[in-house]
Amino acid sequence: MNSFGRIFRISIFGESHGECVGIAIDGCPAGLSLIPEDLLPDLERRKGGKQKGTTPRQEEDCPIFKSGIFNGKTTGFPITILFENKNTRSEDYNKQRSIPRPGHADWVAHQKFGGNEDYRGGGHFSARLTTGIVAAGAIAKKLMNEISIHAEVTEIAGEKDLEKGLQKAIDAKDSVGGIIECRVTGLPVGLGEPYFDSIESGLSHILFAIPAVKGVEFGAGFAAAKMFGSQHNDAIESMEGKTRTNHAGGIVGGISNGNELVFRLAVKPTSSTPKEQNSLNWDTGKTEDFSIKGRHDLCVALRAPVIVEAVTALVLADFMLLEQKIKRIQ
Amino acid sequence: MNSFGRIFRISIFGESHGECVGIAIDGCPAGLSLIPEDLLPDLERRKGGKQKGTTPRQEEDCPIFKSGIFNGKTTGFPITILFENKNTRSEDYNKQRSIPRPGHADWVAHQKFGGNEDYRGGGHFSARLTTGIVAAGAIAKKLMNEISIHAEVTEIAGEKDLEKGLQKAIDAKDSVGGIIECRVTGLPVGLGEPYFDSIESGLSHILFAIPAVKGVEFGAGFAAAKMFGSQHNDAIESMEGKTRTNHAGGIVGGISNGNELVFRLAVKPTSSTPKEQNSLNWDTGKTEDFSIKGRHDLCVALRAPVIVEAVTALVLADFMLLEQKIKRIQ
Amino acid sequence: MNSFGRIFRISIFGESHGECVGIAIDGCPAGLSLIPEDLLPDLERRKGGKQKGTTPRQEEDCPIFKSGIFNGKTTGFPITILFENKNTRSEDYNKQRSIPRPGHADWVAHQKFGGNEDYRGGGHFSARLTTGIVAAGAIAKKLMNEISIHAEVTEIAGEKDLEKGLQKAIDAKDSVGGIIECRVTGLPVGLGEPYFDSIESGLSHILFAIPAVKGVEFGAGFAAAKMFGSQHNDAIESMEGKTRTNHAGGIVGGISNGNELVFRLAVKPTSSTPKEQNSLNWDTGKTEDFSIKGRHDLCVALRAPVIVEAVTALVLADFMLLEQKIKRIQ
Amino acid sequence: MNSFGRIFRISIFGESHGECVGIAIDGCPAGLSLIPEDLLPDLERRKGGKQKGTTPRQEEDCPIFKSGIFNGKTTGFPITILFENKNTRSEDYNKQRSIPRPGHADWVAHQKFGGNEDYRGGGHFSARLTTGIVAAGAIAKKLMNEISIHAEVTEIAGEKDLEKGLQKAIDAKDSVGGIIECRVTGLPVGLGEPYFDSIESGLSHILFAIPAVKGVEFGAGFAAAKMFGSQHNDAIESMEGKTRTNHAGGIVGGISNGNELVFRLAVKPTSSTPKEQNSLNWDTGKTEDFSIKGRHDLCVALRAPVIVEAVTALVLADFMLLEQKIKRIQ
């Protein structure tokens, strides 16, 4: 399914080199002021070509509202937003067809969909689909203006000095991975449930839906595995639940405890590396050397923080509506 | 919600010191041979007291089938399994009530449920609820006998020599965390979808439902963030999709690629450490020193591998049924 | 799936002649006072043998709470209720096996489940499964004490004089059908949505889940098809939405309009008629005359009103929670 | 939610006088040949102005494929279809605003959405939203070419002679209701489940999602309530499950029995009658006489058969995929 959410529910559609990509958002309360300009700052952050190491492919990413808005406000019915694809170069991909690109979904998509997949630019698998998600995330953020969500790249190619990490990629003529950290403040106490609707379950579900994410950890995360209990436990200091440390990352028993929500993601290196590779040629049945053409990011982590913020906002809005912390009419 | 799954769906219920814990399993195909003995090996692995570092509380964990089985086979209707709670010592918890235990859900549960929570032994939050999950997992494994799922602890307290890691805890009179790795072979190519129904999304969702799990990574995981693209990409070597390396952990674009599925979890140290702690006393509004009584694991990771296998089996059975790789009648 | 509901969600399990039938109720707010005695009046109404024309099989129908209740209140976690089967006579059904009973699910169950179905007393298909539903409905009613739900049989065997209708059955030594009408007052304005989450959609979905229901109509229902628009339209008379007539049955555009909610159900005659029948014998492949043994209702509609009330309460509680008209903590 | 379906899932969006209406269809198998022309015959049947008694508003209803199709085949990813609104006359509705139209959702929508609703032409409540549903239904029909679904109007204004019924409306200068009957042949045995996923539950859920439907009955339906059991029971005659009569309408225990699936719907008279009405004026708080302007159907049942076929196809395709009767790749 290409939908996510229980009450605040998104459905994505479209292909990288098709006519458009888009999203339908169902369950947004009525009466929220919303104009296309509200979405532009986040859409701008997602765009390539704005910073060193990102793809020179630039789309206008102008959100076209197709439904659900009336007189500048949400109606309570599905909000559909389209983004036209204009700046496509499908010929880059046609040339590449005989060798399924390593790290990409070419081979599995072909197996799964029996050759019916739209392979141009990755088709539906393309990170271009995250445009709609970023738009929906901006709406979710607007719904929860008392909550602040901030994600940023904290490490590139193993370097905390990001400039240095990127230079590594440029020097090696290769792509690199990175770490993104997200922090959320203003979350009410008591959001989430133990087990299947834990905040960690909901968030990790959609964080792993972001292409290239291969790891997610909350609070101390993997470092917790090396700690003693007495060291990891966050002592409560106040009747409001403020803890001395925050190794739990703001979630205990799957439920928000009122402290800062903190988590990190591992983003793998861009699969489309400029470096020469060796892999299977479908037509010959043998491996061969080849190079990926097209316009790509050296480090996909660079454009991902706004996507991480968006999916975080979507999950939290869903929990907030379900648990009656957001009203059905704004 | 205390349910999980789309086609193969589990619902858990019960409390640690209530009358029982249990599970209802809906969507299991008809005609699968099933007797209580089929569940015992996995239930045995989950039990405490069997190995150094686990709680001396021992329940018989005898699965009582209440529905869905007829003449030793599944009927296609919900299978309900109960586990009676016999060996409870609630008085240990009553003494402790004035200080919400750090690392536990005591404080958030109280806030969320307005004081109506069953606090004895953690109530519904207790890891005892995983008994039903392990039983359901054993059924899911039986459904997929061509698939092999194996999880094990690979690190305790930062030590790959597990004996040594556990000794650290015993010496420090403290609890410790650990790492669990799970490997799945025999998975068909093409399971899963990009985005919200990726294998990573489905698995992480339920892995983070296991109490004490704070990190999940697939394949190279967090290490991928430090790699170059040319290094991380798994070159395809054969027409069957066999890759030279397996940094992707068997999943590309959210879809299984026929290679081994590999992932790791970070398990935090047992919150109930034997060490003295300092935290808020609800009655006085001030922090104070105290010690946790009761019977607890020094390292919860030790009993978790079979739970990890169970939830993995549950998710995979759900995908296999949805994608028509398992027949509705066995 | 044997589950229903989005926020207030029930899962049923069990078989007529198995060990028990039961229900798990997830999503019930915490803090609702609840003791087994609260469920007895409705369970009593569902029982057979209390009135002329109902089955002499009598079960104690004593609800056994297995989870989700602590100190006489709901905890916010799943409430599991079991009903033991004690008074079973499976031998009646064994004799009958060679001829799939007309009107019953014997034949389709055999085809669908490949012979693995528990055929004794209809197994999971038995109306005995509605015991759990009635219990859950009683809880839902308690949650919404400002809403009154009342269902009653208004017609038996085509007679509005019910005594007369039943006498028809007794005289003919046959079973008969009936009509049930349900009226709900106190419902807030604005519940429901157009299209797939209309009140009509939600209610009809679960009303048709009741065995033997073959028709559902709201307000004027089928009579509306014979009316003129000017006659059918309910003119609004007050700013509170009070209408002059109520042909819409309290629902417009799928949404409650504050007037009485009114609907009717057609219940088919009990399939297990005492009359001799002629149907296929599986063993011979030929039709033959036979008679149904066992203890059965002459008119299943007689015991159904409390079931209709229960499912109505379940659907409305779900809408009320989703639309934030019921608080998460009582 | 504006979505329906478990595996074959539709999401509708748009407003009557907004820019467009549309639908996203998720879960359609890959490899199905699909061009816009495939949808035209059914879209044509839904259109107004083609037959006596339907609205003169005519839209081109040209389906614009936005995603999910590649090289004339479905890709397995969401198919999005838009229909532009061109022929709108919103001024008709602005004049009408002070009196919420009886039978319409004006008053409830205003209460529920706090005045944020798009009231023009009924906004999202408009039957124009069924355009997308008809398109999706045509795709579902294509998927199941061995199944035949046929719906037709069998009664208008109480008359089986449809011409005569319509004349009644014309003579009375009023709108009228009608009955639609739908018959499905070719359905496999064993589709559906008892209780919440019965064929009756699934179908009635979406049938009541069609605006103006106020009653649904299967097989003998309401007439069954007047019958004896020996008369209503469908005797099985052959090993393939063929029954002598078909009072059950092809469904027993919620499951298809291989006989013709038969059901009927009651459609209320068009709310927008040309006749003068008397109802509340919001501005004055008093009732007054008024007439509805705009272009409307005298009998909405006339255009509904193709919508009934569409939703039937959608539900059946969902069951067929879930129960593995349709392959994931065509």
* H or E element at residue D83: strand D79-84
For the stretch D175-225, pLDDT in tens is 999 999 999 999 999 999 999 999 999 999 999 999 999 999 999 999 999
Find chain D residues with C-beta within 8 A of A114's C-beta. Answer: 30-31, 329
For the stretch B224-278, pLDDT in tens is 999 999 999 999 999 999 999 999 999 999 999 999 999 999 999 999 999 999 9
For the stretch B46-84, pLDDT in tens is 987 667 777 766 667 899 999 999 999 999 999 999 999
A94 confidence band (pLDDT: 50, 70, 90) = low
Residues 6 or more apart in contact with residue A283 via CB below 8 angstroms:
A98
Which is nearest to B158 in space by CA: B144, B172, B168? B168
Find chain D residues with C-beta within 8 A of A123's C-beta. Answer: 70, 75, 77
B155 confidence band (pLDDT: 50, 70, 90) = very high
For the stretch A266-320, pLDDT in tens is 999 999 999 999 999 999 999 999 998 777 889 999 999 999 999 999 999 999 9
pLDDT over 70 (residue C177): yes
Give the closest-approach CA distance of B187 to chain D in angstroms.
18
Nearest CA in chain A to B114: A190
Contact A327 C322 (CB under 8 A): no
Find chain A residues with C-beta within 8 A of C327's C-beta. Answer: 324
Measured from the Cβ of residue D233, the count of other Cβ atoms closer than 10 Å reads 30
For the stretch B277-299, pLDDT in tens is 999 999 999 999 999 877 788 99
Nearest by CB to B227, which of A204, A269, A277? Answer: A269
Give the closest-approach CA distance of B324 to chain D in angstroms.
6
CA–CA separation, A113 and D130 (whole Å) = 30
C80 confidence band (pLDDT: 50, 70, 90) = very high
**pLDDT on residue A252:** 98
Measured from the Cβ of residue D51, the count of other Cβ atoms closer than 10 Å reads 12
Contact C66 B22 (CB under 8 A): yes
As beta bridge partners, residue D11 has D3, D24
The tokens for D96 are: 């009408």
D294 confidence band (pLDDT: 50, 70, 90) = confident
Find chain C residues with C-beta within 8 A of A7's C-beta. Answer: 322
Nearest CA in chain D to A129: D67
What pairing do the DSSP bridges indicate for beta strands D148-156 and A213-218? unpaired
Nearest by CB to A328, which of C6, C323, C327? Answer: C323
Measured from the Cβ of residue B240, the count of other Cβ atoms closer than 10 Å reads 11
CA–CA separation, B99 and B119 (whole Å) = 12
> What average pLDDT does chain D have?
95
Nearest CA in chain D to C244: D279
Structural contact between residues D20 and D59, judged by C-beta atoms closer than 8 angstroms: no
CA–CA separation, B263 and B203 (whole Å) = 10
CA–CA distance from B65 to each of A169, B84, B234, C124, C328 (Å)? 58, 12, 46, 15, 33
Query: Is B7 an 8 Å CB contact of chain A?
Result: no
Nearest by CB to B70, which of C67, C76, C118? Answer: C118
**pLDDT on residue A296:** 84
**pLDDT on residue A58:** 66
CA–CA separation, A19 and A4 (whole Å) = 23
Contact B324 D323 (CB under 8 A): no
**SS3 for C128-197, per residue?**
HHHHHHHHHHHHHHHHCCCCEEEEEEEEECCECCHHHHHHHHHHHCCCECEEEEEEEECCCCCCCCCHHH
CA–CA separation, D240 and D187 (whole Å) = 13
Give the E-state strand segments of chain C in sequence order. Answer: 3-4, 9-14, 20-26, 64-67, 69-70, 73-74, 79-84, 148-156, 178-185, 213-218, 251-252, 255-256, 261-267, 277-281, 286-290
Cα within 13 Å of Cα(C58), Cβ side: 7
3-class state of residue B73 by DSSP? strand
Contact C77 B21 (CB under 8 A): no
Nearest CA in chain A to B171: A228
Question: What string of DSSP letters covers B100-160?
Answer: PPTTSSHHHHHHHHTT-S--GGGGGGSGGGHHHHHHHHHHHHHHTTT-EEEEEEEEETTBS
Question: What string of DSSP letters covers D87-151?
Answer: S--THHHHHHTTSPPTTSSHHHHHHHHTT-S--GGGGGGSGGGHHHHHHHHHHHHHHTTT-EEEE
Find chain A residues with C-beta within 8 A of C324's C-beta. Answer: 324, 327-328
pLDDT over 80 (residue A13): yes
3-class state of residue A302 by DSSP? helix
D286 confidence band (pLDDT: 50, 70, 90) = very high
* H or E element at residue C202: helix C199-207
Nearest by CB to B66, which of C2, C19, C75? Answer: C19
- Could you state, in order of their start, the residue ranges of all structural domains in chain A? 3-322
> What average pLDDT does chain A have?
95
3-class state of residue A315 by DSSP? helix
D93 confidence band (pLDDT: 50, 70, 90) = low
- Give the number of B-D residue pairs with CB atoms closer than 8 Å: 10
Q: Which one of D159, D195, D243, D255 makes the best mutation probe of the C interface by having the most chain C beta carbons within 10 Å? A: D195
Contact B12 C123 (CB under 8 A): no
Q: What dihedral do alpha carbons C240, C245, C250, C251 form, nearest 10°?
A: -100
Contact B111 A190 (CB under 8 A): yes
Nearest CA in chain B to A299: B229
Radius of gyration of chain C (CA): 21
**pLDDT on residue A57:** 63
- Chains interfacing with B (3 or more CB pairs < 8 Å): A, C, D
Q: How would you classify residue D137: left for phi > 0, otherwise alpha for psi between -120 and 50, otherwise beta? A: alpha
**pLDDT on residue D56:** 65
Contact B26 C3 (CB under 8 A): yes
**pLDDT on residue B97:** 84
Hey, which residues 299-328 in chain B have their CB within 8 Å of chain A?
Answer: 301
CATH class of the domain whose range is B3-322: alpha beta
CA–CA separation, A178 and B251 (whole Å) = 19
C58 confidence band (pLDDT: 50, 70, 90) = low
Nearest CA in chain C to D11: C196
Q: Which one of C2, C25, C64 makes the best mutation probe of the B interface by having the most chain B beta carbons within 10 Å? A: C2
As beta bridge partners, residue B176 has A228
Query: Is C18 an 8 Å CB contact of chain B?
Result: yes
Find chain A residues with C-beta within 8 A of D28's C-beta. Answer: none
pTM equals: 0.97
Which whole number is the average pLDDT over D257-281? 97
Give the closest-approach CA distance of A305 to chain D in angstroms.
26
Which is nearest to C166 in space by CA: C49, C265, C298? C298
A164 confidence band (pLDDT: 50, 70, 90) = very high
**pLDDT on residue A87:** 75
> What average pLDDT does chain C have?
95
For the stretch C233-275, pLDDT in tens is 999 999 999 999 999 999 999 999 999 999 999 999 999 999 9
As beta bridge partners, residue C70 has C73
CA–CA distance from D252 to each of B139, D194, D256 (Å)? 30, 9, 6
pLDDT over 90 (residue C295): no
Measured from the Cβ of residue A239, the count of other Cβ atoms closer than 10 Å reads 11
Q: Decide which of B88 and D97 is more confident.
A: D97
3-class state of residue A240 by DSSP? coil
Contact C75 B14 (CB under 8 A): no
Residues 6 or more apart in contact with residue B145 via CB below 8 angstroms:
none
DSSP state of C54: S
pLDDT over 70 (residue A92): no
The tokens for A141 are: 């953020």
Which whole number is the average pLDDT over D75-98? 84
Structural contact between residues A3 and A78, judged by C-beta atoms closer than 8 angstroms: no
Nearest CA in chain B to A262: B214
Q: Which one of D133, D189, D196 makes the best mutation probe of the C interface by having the most chain C beta carbons within 10 Å? A: D196
Which whole number is the average pLDDT over C202-225? 98
Structural contact between residues D199 and D192, judged by C-beta atoms closer than 8 angstroms: yes
What pairing do the DSSP bridges indicate for beta strands D64-67 and B178-185? unpaired
Nearest CA in chain B to D29: B323
D60 confidence band (pLDDT: 50, 70, 90) = confident
CB burial of residue B299 (10 Å; 0-12, 13-18, 19+): buried
Contact C324 A324 (CB under 8 A): yes
pLDDT over 90 (residue D88): no
pLDDT over 70 (residue A154): yes
Nearest by CB to A323, which of C6, C323, C328? Answer: C328
Which is nearest to D250 in space by CA: D312, D308, D159? D312
DSSP state of C243: B
* % of chain A exceeding 90 in pLDDT: 89
Find chain B residues with C-beta within 8 A of D7's C-beta. Answer: 322
CA–CA separation, D180 and D158 (whole Å) = 12
Give the closest-approach CA distance of A27 to chain D in angstroms.
7
> What average pLDDT does chain B have?
95
D48 confidence band (pLDDT: 50, 70, 90) = confident
* H or E element at residue B184: strand B178-185
**pLDDT on residue A102:** 96
* % of chain B exceeding 90 in pLDDT: 89
Residues 6 or more apart in contact with residue C113 via CB below 8 angstroms:
B30, B31, B75, B76, B329
Structural contact between residues D215 and D273, judged by C-beta atoms closer than 8 angstroms: no
Query: Is B257 an 8 Å CB contact of chain A?
Result: yes
Which is nearest to D263 in space by CA: D276, D247, D284? D247
Contact B235 A129 (CB under 8 A): no
DSSP state of B228: B
pLDDT over 70 (residue C162): yes
Give the closest-approach CA distance of A14 to chain D in angstroms.
5
D95 confidence band (pLDDT: 50, 70, 90) = low
* H or E element at residue C91: helix C91-96
**pLDDT on residue C88:** 73
Q: Which one of A193, A321, A324 makes the best mutation probe of the C interface by having the most chain C beta carbons within 10 Å? A: A324
